[in-house]
Chain A
Amino acid sequence: MNKVVDIEKIKPFFKDGMTLMIGGFLACGTPEKLIDMLLELNVKDLTIIANDTSFPDRGLGRLVVNGQVKKVIVSHIGTNPETGRLMNEGKLEVELCPQGTLIERIRAGGSGLGGVLTPTGVGTIVEEGKQKLTINGKEYLLELPLRADVALIKGSIVDEFGNTFYKGTTRNFNPIIAFAADTVIVEAEEIVKVGELRPEDAMTPGVLVDYIIKGGEGFDS
């Protein structure tokens, strides 16, 4: 029942060409120690699904700068000029997806749904190549589910079983991506014994979590 492992134990999971989901919103709630590890492993050709590409020196933005990323599926790249530069040079594929659509695609991927219908993007270039359905007289786009090989999550307080509590706005994508990957790794700011986190405070149920590693205190650590 104790899923806490040394970071060495999870390193073999990471391979070139794999798809990762990474929690965080402009690096708030991003597992920085796991990003450090990916930089060290220098795995390449990653596809990363996340809200944004953060900043060049923080969060998953560092993986972009280090040339490890082949494709990103995100809602925003404006805070990381390197993403735009690599995209313009044809070295990085960028799939931009409206934020609310992106999180619903992930939710669909993690909850056994074949897709979601959203009015967001109708009449814009976002609808290109997508199926449009009219429900009760209103147009919707069919947006397809997303899944990943591994989800990297940042938890504020995590018990040894993986039940995870998120402080403040660090929750963002984290509890949703926990459903949508084959392997779920939580970087815990604080690890507690089972029983110390109240079940009603488990924002991510521990059953979804495969491994827990001890992380630092936040995005500046």
Chain B
Amino acid sequence: MIPNQELAKEIIAKRIAKELKDGQLVNLGIGLPTLVANYVPEGVHIIFQSENGMVGMGPAPEKGKEDKNITNAGGMPVTIMPFGAFFDSATSFALIRGGHVDITVLGALEVDQEGNLANWIIPGKMVPGMGGAMDLVVGARKVIVAMQHTSKGQPKILKKCRLPLTAKAEVNMIVTELCVLEVTDKGLVLREIYKDTTIDEVKSLTEADLIIPEDIKIMDI
């Protein structure tokens, strides 16, 4: 059974939140990845970066308490934690490219079994631009793709990306509402599946070849 969209997002965000370790510097992309912040386990302190120029990003302010000078990479008002810092864009991307960001979580249009990611352009249809995504994917130590398993029923996890790439062979992990995949030198390894799905269902909704180990776990959410 494939969870509906709302539940799917919750499953994905909850599962990725469990990947975050105390003290890590993490950058969450706009949209679904942002939801991960809502599920950080108790006692785990994460430092969130926003590529427009801060570390220590806090939650959205209460209505009426927005500060026009403090926004996130989506242009929305946010807050900053007492230990946070603001800086310019060159510093922000030195943090990113310099390997100081532990984890980046991004959405995807397509991802493939070689760890290639496409998420910035559909030629002729949608050209938003790459923003900071190309730098984040190349620079962050661990790249986690957060996305629904299919789009209008069509697989998004492919043998080879068809859309222009955001980065080549940089993705480490893919989390969907159906499974957790690890990108390895040998290909995509199915590590976990959602409690209400089956290995066969995951395979039928995935174009990429999957390596199926003996010890597949149920997704811990």
A-B residue pair count with CB separations less than 8 angstroms: 148
Residue B97 lies at the interface, judged by CB distance under 8 Å to chain A: yes
Least CB distance, A206 to chain B, in whole angstroms: 17
The count of chain A contact residues (Cβ–Cβ below 8 Å) is: 50
Cα of A79 to Cα of B127 in the assembled complex, Å: 11
Decide if B88 touches A119 in the complex (CB within 8 Å).
Answer: no
Contacts of A40 in B (CB 8 A): none
Residue contact A176 to B90, C-beta cutoff 8 Å: yes
Chain A residues in 8 Å Cβ range of B206: none
Chain A 169-193 residues near chain B, CB threshold 8 A: 169-176
Say whether, besides A100-B135, A172-B52, A124 and B165 are in contact (CB < 8 Å).
Answer: yes
Q: A56 contacts the other chain (Cβ, under 8 Å)?
A: no
Answer whether residue A90 sits at the interface, using C-beta atoms and an 8 A cutoff.
no
Residues of A within 8 A of B43 (CB): none
Q: Which residues of A contact B129 (CB under 8 A)?
A: 52, 74-78, 96
**Residues 153-192 of chain B, each 1 if its beta carbon lies under 8 Å from chain A, else 0:** 0000000000011111100000000000000000000000
Using Cβ atoms and an 8 Å threshold, which residues of chain B touch A99? 51, 89, 93, 130-132, 134-135
Inter-subunit contact B139/A220 (CB<8 Å): no
Interface flag for B128 (CB, 8 Å): yes
User: Contacts A100-B93, A118-B97 known; A123 to B165 CB distance under 8 Å?
Assistant: yes
Given contacts A51-B89, A123-B168, A124-B134, contact A168 B67 (CB under 8 A): yes
Q: Can you list 25 residue pairs at the A/B interface with Cβ under 8 Å?
A: A25-B53, A25-B73, A25-B89, A77-B128, A78-B129, A79-B75, A96-B129, A99-B134, A100-B135, A101-B134, A103-B89, A118-B135, A125-B165, A126-B134, A166-B86, A168-B54, A168-B67, A168-B80, A169-B50, A171-B89, A172-B88, A175-B88, A176-B89, A203-B88, A218-B69
Given contacts A27-B75, A119-B138, 19 further A-B contacts (CB under 8 A): A25-B52, A28-B69, A75-B130, A75-B132, A76-B130, A94-B127, A99-B89, A99-B93, A100-B92, A100-B139, A118-B135, A123-B165, A169-B50, A169-B69, A172-B52, A172-B88, A176-B90, A218-B69, A220-B68
